[in-house]
Amino acid sequence: MIQLLASKPFKILNIKIIVLILIISIFLTLPLWSSEYIISVFVLIFLYMSLGQMWNLLAGYTGLVSLGQQIFIGLGGYSLAVITVLYQLPIALGIIVGGVISILFALIISQPIFKMRGDYFTIGTWIVAECLAVFFSVWTYVRGGLGFNIIAAYKLSTTDIYYMAVAMGLGSIALVYFLLRTKIGLALMAMRDNESAAETLGVELYKTKLKVFLIAAFVTGLTGGLLYLSIAYIQPRASFSITWTVAMVFIVIIGGIGTIEGPILGAFFFILIKQYLYNYPGISMIILGTVAILTILIAPKGIVGTLQERYGFEILSIRRR
Amino acid sequence: MGKSKTKKAISLLIVLVLVLGMVALVGCSKPAATTAPEQKEEKEFILIGRVNPTTGPLAGFGAGTPTVEEMAIEKINADGGIYIKEYDKKIPLKLIAVDSESNPTKASEAATKLVLQDKVDLLITAHTPDTTVPVSAVAERYQIPTISVDSPVDVWLTGGPYTWVFHTGFVVESLNSVFMDMWDLVDTNKKVGFLFGSDPDGAYISEVIKPMAEKRGYTCIDPGRFPQGTKDYTTIINQLKNEGVDIVTGNMITPDFATAWQQMHQQGFVPKVMTMGKAPLFPTDVDSFGNDLGEGVTTEVWWSENHPYKSSLTGHGALELAKWWTDTTQKQPSAVLGYKHAAIEIAVDALNRAQTLDKDQLREAIKATDLDTIIGHIQYNDENYCEAMLVGGQWTKGETWPWEMNIISNKQAPEVPLSQDSMFFVPGSK
């Protein structure tokens, strides 16, 4: 037993567990020792982390480069608004309904959208999102362009939203981690590397892609609901805006595509840079764009990808031992 | 194998240090950020947070911030600031302006940052519902006294009822009345074509204007709403052309209206009257239509250098403020100047009366505002808003500036003098 505990692999495992427990403890106790502003920043970090994980699952592991993930943010946000404002029902129900509607909508659009490949799939998803923005702008049931103030959200404190965001952020990491360690994970990576070869080896392309697309839609829908719990005002142009997906792409590129750690680090950098740049009105987008371009030029695989390549850095390994 | 695992362990430690460092770094900001007024620690400034559309399609509204506000604040700070009883001294004002990038989501995030990080004592929001509504939502959530100006009252009210936010703006009925007052000045077939976008104000105004116009004897042709960024208006133009409308009205952002107006001219459809909300409010916007297409376009005017009101801070009239703006920036004055200045007037007046930074007392002081400002008299009603009066204006080529505004209708505010020139049809119309 002592020999086992002293062995190298066990030590590394121990360090990993200690580090993870430490990090999780820090985040769980954050509201006890930090300011409300820092908590609000971490709300955004965890929610964008969840969005980044889902986009990475699609683009980095499945090869589905979607520019339409804002569809599910909008659906999640609008579900929350309709449930709480029009029907005066609980917030939790609004968020869950957002996830369910996102899955259903993803299922409906998957039929035509999966017939498109590569760039066509990318553009197709974007077009669906734009169509939804137009539709919601004229749909009187959701007040058209007027939108909703999600007044029920005012009652929640930043700490309440923070714990929901922590659950969402860490939950999305766990989901991707365990999903990639299943058979689906193996199939996904085989598909990403060579679709035809994967199919020859018995991977069911359509079914596997659909499963991942639905999972990503569900989690993005839930995250959209939580985001709008924090923003408390929704209208079509902003909720179905491509800027959401641009943020996801930025997070994944900066962090490292095809790695679980990438979107975690990417979300940290993205939100911290964004917060800092509020002090420089008018030039924030220029700086953000410059950071993205420099990262692509210097470290095309992102921060985590480059660390993995040079130093074998890995925390959340999905390799089977 | 063993070597790579050692590398992993080192990497893990590096990450741990990084994460802890980051958390410690942000955690360090806590003491400064959580200093409460009741602790009566030294307070250097009374902080006013201002969310402004500095960039993006609403940048025309945002132009002038923070210059105008800082000029107003300078006057107060020259006297040492405002007396605050819990500190028993005068404290100067400081404005923190952030950019919403004309995006409601960013406006909300920026306002949250102002409240939670900068710990502002008061928020000011202005310029269209895309800015005022999300910022008002943040103000209500965090219970921050807030002064809101310059966006339609009705649209702002859809996010209410408000406890912490007080708004000054025109009501949509007044806007529509001004439009129709102008149409009544000329001889047309009384057929009105709609060109309303699907943004919050466009969606709301289009609903209200139809019954009002019909009541005044106008026939409305409504091709429906369209999203911001629409590039092809051919279908709408054809419908309005076929219906033979003499008047076109709507509410659009500047780039979209420029596209639609150019396409109307290209396709040989020039109505006698083009009355547009939002897009042609500022001379720079009118200039962006290109090819002198601004000539004859009519719109609502909330404030101009001819408005006969005076600043409660400086005692100067609208003309002096406009002149100061031109002398300082070499730019033509626009309607937003008055509202930007008035927001500071309301804030200073409330702070002077409250003499405290206690949020509840400050809110009550704003609620009790009864003040003559550079945009007129401000007094809030039970729904926390004060209705601003409008006049109607028409753009024409000018002598001092490339584009100048003629005030052609003043039924709502007869104290605002009319220009010498009367209303004319859009050049090229048949």
Whether B138 and A12 lie within 8 Å, measured CB to CB: no
Partners of B10 on chain A (C-beta within 8 Å) are 311
Helix B2-27 vs helix A8-33: angle between axes, to the nearest 10 degrees? 10
Bridge partners (DSSP) listed for residue B251: B196, B277
- How high is the pLDDT of residue A1? 53
Contact A143 B55 (CB under 8 A): no
Smallest Cβ–Cβ distance between B198 and the set A12, A144, A307 belongs to: A144
Could you tell me if A306 lies within 8 Å of chain B, comparing CB atoms?
A: no
pLDDT at B237: 95
Q: What are A61's strand-pairing partners?
A: none
Nearest CA in chain A to B131: A233
What is the pLDDT, as a whole number, of residue B123? Answer: 96
Distance CA B196, CA A92 (A): 36
Handedness of CA A114, A119, A125, A128 (dihedral sign): negative
Residues of B in contact with A151 (CB under 8 A): 140, 159
The Cα-based distances of B286 to A143, B292, B339, B406 in angstroms read 31, 9, 20, 14
Contacts with A284 from chain B: Cβ below 8 Å: 99, 101
Mutate to test the interface with A, among B28, B51, B117 (most CBs of A within 10 A): B117
* Cβ within 8 Å of B, A 20-59: 22-23, 26, 30, 33-38, 40-41, 44
Strands B370-373 and B376-379: antiparallel
In angstroms, what separates the C-alpha of A205 from chain B's closest C-alpha?
A: 34
The whole-angstrom separation of Cα A192 and Cα A117 is 13
Token readout for B79 is 């006297």
**Amino acid identity, position A51:** L
Cβ within 8 Å, pair B116-A36: yes
CA distance B12 to A314: 8
Domain spans in chain B, listed from the N-terminal domain onward: 46-170+306-387, 173-301+398-409
Residue in chain A lying closest to B2 (CA): A8
B42 CB contacts (<8 Å, ≥6 apart)?
none
Count CB neighbours of B189 within 10 A. Answer: 12
Confidence band, pLDDT 50/70/90 cuts, at residue A200: confident
Choose among B27, B202, B203: nearest Cβ to A38: B27
Domain ranges of chain A: 34-242
Report whether B274 contacts B260 (CB < 8 A). Answer: no
Q: Is the link from the previous residue into B427 a cis peptide, with omega within 30 of 0?
A: no
CA angle B81, B84, B85 (to 5 degrees): 150
Q: Tell me phi and psi for residue B397, to 5 degrees.
A: -65, 135
- What's the pLDDT score for residue B25? 47
Crossing angle of helices A243-255 and A284-298, in 10° steps, is: 40
Quote the CA–CA distance of B411 and B415 in Å, as a whole number: 9
**Rounded-to-integer distance, Cα A320 and Cα A309, Å:** 19
Domains B46-170+306-387 and B173-301+398-409 share a fold: yes
Structural tokens at position B419? 């220009």
CB < 8 Å from B in window 132-151 of A: 133-134, 137-138, 143-147, 149-151
**Angle between helices B318-329 and B67-78 in degrees, nearest 10:** 110
Q: Environment class of residue A269 by beta-carbon count within 10 Å: exposed (0-12), middle (13-18) or buried (19+)?
A: middle
Interface test with A, best of B6, B28, B105, B164 (most A CBs within 10 A): B105
Give the per-residue pLDDT at A4: 55
pLDDT score of B35: 40
Per DSSP, the three-state class of A11 is: helix
A245-289 per-position pLDDT tens digit = 999 999 999 898 888 889 999 999 899 888 888 777 667 778 888
pLDDT averaged over chain A? 87
Q: Which 3 state secondary structure label does DSSP give B196?
A: strand
Give the pLDDT confidence score for residue B356 in this predicted structure: 95
Query: If DSSP codes are grouped into helix, strand and coil, which group holds residue A245?
Result: helix
Q: Are A190 and A201 in contact (CB under 8 A)?
A: yes
* DSSP codes of every residue in B201-249: HHHHHHHHHHHHHHHTT-EEE----B-TT----HHHHHHHHHHT-SEEE
CA distance A34 to chain B (A): 6
- Residues B422 and B212: their CA atoms lie apart, in Å, by 24
Question: In this structure, what token pair is assigned to residue A105?
Answer: 């909508």
Q: Which residues of A58-81 are buried (b: 16+ CB within 10 A; e: fewer)?
A: bbbbbbbbbbbbbbbbbbbbbbbb
**Helix residue spans in A57-157 (DSSP H):** 70-81, 91-113, 119-138
Are residues B200 and A243, on separate chains, in Cβ contact within 8 Å?
Answer: no
Query: How many interchain CB pairs under 8 A, A with B?
Result: 172
Q: CB under 8 Å to A135, separation ≥6 — which residues?
A: none
Q: Which amino acid is at B285?
A: D
CA-based nearest residue in chain B for residue A16: B12
- The CA-based angle A114-A119-A125, given to 5 degrees, is 55
* 3-state secondary structure at position B401: coil
In A, minimum Cα distance to B224 occurs at A138
| pTM listed for this prediction | 0.83
Residue located via tokens 């919601």:
A136
The C-alpha atoms of residue A278 and residue A61 are separated, in whole angstroms, by: 33
Mean pLDDT of A193-220: 89
User: How many helices, marked H, and strands, marked E, lie in chain A?
Assistant: 15, 2
- Residues whose CB is less than 8 angstroms from the CB of residue A301 and which lie 6 or more positions away in sequence, other chains included: A256, A257, A308, A309
Q: Is B292 helix (H, G, I), strand (E, B) or coil?
A: coil
CATH 3.40.50.2300 fits B173-301+398-409, yes or no: yes
The whole-angstrom separation of Cα B43 and Cα B35 is 9
* Residue from A7, A73, A137 to probe the interface with B (highest B Cβ count within 10 Å): A137
Q: Which residue's structure tokens are 């659909």?
A: A210
In chain B, the residue whose alpha carbon lies closest to the alpha carbon of A233 is: B134
Question: What's the rounded Cα separation, in Å, for the pair A229 and A95?
Answer: 9
As a whole number of angstroms, the distance between CA B205 and CA B336 comes to: 21
Sign of the alpha-carbon torsion through B220, B221, B227, B230: negative
Q: Give the three-class secondary structure for A297.
A: helix
Q: Which fold has domain B46-170+306-387?
A: Rossmann fold (3.40.50)
- φ, ψ dihedrals at B408, nearest 5°: -115, -10
Task: Print pLDDT tens along chain B (430 aa).
Answer: 445 555 555 555 555 555 555 554 454 444 433 444 445 567 899 999 999 998 888 888 898 889 999 999 998 999 999 999 999 999 999 999 998 988 898 899 899 999 999 999 999 999 888 899 999 999 999 999 999 998 889 889 988 899 999 999 999 999 999 999 999 999 999 999 999 988 777 888 888 999 999 999 999 999 988 888 889 999 999 999 999 999 999 999 889 999 999 999 999 999 999 999 989 998 888 988 887 899 999 999 989 998 999 999 988 999 999 999 999 999 999 889 999 999 999 999 999 999 999 999 999 999 999 999 999 999 999 999 999 989 999 999 988 899 999 999 999 889 999 987 888 999 988 7
Which chain B residues are closer than 8 Å to A231 by Cβ?
105, 108-109, 134, 137
User: Based on C-alpha coordinates, what's the Rg of chain B?
Assistant: 24
Contact of A250 with A48, CB cutoff 8 Å: no
d(C-alpha B44, C-alpha B84), whole Å: 12
Type of residue numbered B86? E
Cα within 13 Å of Cα(B226), Cβ side: 21
Nearest to A145 by CA among B226, B101, B108: B226
- Asked if residue A10 lies in contact with residue A4, where contact means CB atoms within 8 angstroms, the answer is yes
Answer whether B286 touches A (CB < 8 Å). no
Chain B, residues 184-213, CB within 8 A of chain A, namely 197-200, 202-204
Backbone angles phi, psi at B324, to 5 degrees: -60, -45
Check A38 against B29: CB less than 8 A apart: yes
> Can you tell me the distance from the alpha carbon of B324 to that of B314, in angstroms, rounded to the nearest whole number?
12
**Dihedral Cα B160, B165, B171, B175, nearest 10 deg:** -120
> Which residues are B124's β-sheet partners?
B50, B147
Check B109 against A281: CB less than 8 A apart: no
